[in-house]
Structure 1
Amino acid sequence: MDTQIGEANLDWIPLSGFHLRKAGVQFDAVRIEGDAGRCVADLMEELTGGDPGPIVADSVGRRPVYFLVPPRSTPHRPWPELAVPFNSGPDRVSYVPVPALCGRTWPLSWRCVPSGPDRFVHTPLLNSVVWRLREAGDSGGRRP
């Protein structure tokens, strides 16, 4: 059975619980931990009118936030140290936790659910927001 959102078939979303998905196949991801990740998610929602693309939040440990971006969009882009890209290549394999759309998925949840099969977080916009957040942090500011 496949997961459906509207007319979109998103078979990479599990029906229950959560699964690890190999980055670089359906999507890459960028992980940002703690309050910085939540701040970036807030800004992405604000900048995109509430539809930034799929974002997964983890509620334990360092409380990372995973921004799902198009496959192969992270490796050749510089990221500040607070952002960890998840992708795959000849010498690298990464896995991203993906929760079901409903039911028991703790400690993971969808901050923003996927809205279509090719609808992801816009990588250049995310990269820009993360760099601005880093610069604001370096200068003592709270938001970019």
Structure 2
Amino acid sequence: MNTQSDLKWIPLTGIQLRKAGVQFDAVRVDGDEGRALADRLAHMTGGAPGPVVEEATGRRGVYFLVTVGSTAYRSWPPGVTRLTAGPHHISYIPVPALNGLTWPLTWRYRPTSPDDRVHTLLLRAALHSPE
């Protein structure tokens, strides 16, 4: 993996919120369903699904970091939340540091390069594939 300095959108320590529509958008699926989806996607991609962040508290959201604009004009099933930006709409995506104290966020799957993103069409296929 590249060094921390190559991944400028990841904080050096702690957690930061990143505005959707700048470096990436996100798709959030909560709870065990989100974790199972991340693992299905990892299986489909040989263990490299792209960056996926998970939350340990609340709804236990799982955030799939996708290319800006790639979720638009596609139907998404109930339980999927798109975090995007547009006219009169701003979303923020939580991003943990690669190391150190970041609770309640952790990387389920770390990014492998500065431009690494979850492939939106593969994510949709994993959503609709049998478990």
Q: TM-score range by the shorter chain?
A: over 0.9
Q: 3-state SS of the aligned residue for 1:5?
A: coil
Residue type of the partner of 2:64?
Answer: F
The reply on whether 1:67 has 2:64 as its aligned counterpart is yes
Residue type of the partner of 1:84?
Answer: T
* Moved >3 Å (runs of 4+): none
Residue type of the partner of 2:15?
Answer: F
Shift of 1:109: 0.3
TM-score by length of 2: 0.94
| Unaligned residue ranges in structure 1 (runs of 5+) | 137-142
Q: 3-state SS of the aligned residue for 2:63?
A: strand
The reply on whether 1:84 has 2:81 as its aligned counterpart is yes
| Unaligned residue ranges in structure 2 (runs of 5+) | none
Written as runs of structure 1 = structure 2, the 5 A alignment for 1:48-63 is 48-63=45-60
**1:107 corresponding residue in structure 2:** 104
Contact 2:4 2:12 (C-alpha < 8 Å) held by counterparts: no
Residue type of the partner of 1:77?
Answer: R
Answer with 1 or 2: which has the greater Rg.
1
Q: Residues 95 and 46 of structure 1: is their aligned pair in 2 closer, same or farther, counting only changes over 3 Å?
A: same
Return the alpha-carbon distance in structure 1 between the equivalents of residues 5 and 41 of structure 2. Answer: 22
Cα deviation per residue 1:19-46 (whole Å; 9 max; x = unaligned)?
0000111001000000100110110110
Return the alpha-carbon distance in structure 1 between the equivalents of residues 113 and 19 of structure 2. Answer: 19
Tell me the percent identity: 52
Q: 3-state SS of the aligned residue for 1:30?
A: strand
**How many residues in Structure 1 have an aligned counterpart in Structure 2?**
131
TM-score by length of 1: 0.86
Ranked by relative contact order (alpha carbons within 8 Å, sequence separation 6 or more), the top structure is 2
**1:140 corresponding residue in structure 2:** none
Return the alpha-carbon distance in structure 1 between the equivalents of residues 2 and 24 of structure 2. Answer: 17
Residue type of the partner of 1:126?
Answer: L
Return the alpha-carbon distance in structure 2 between the equivalents of residues 6 and 62 of structure 1. Answer: 31
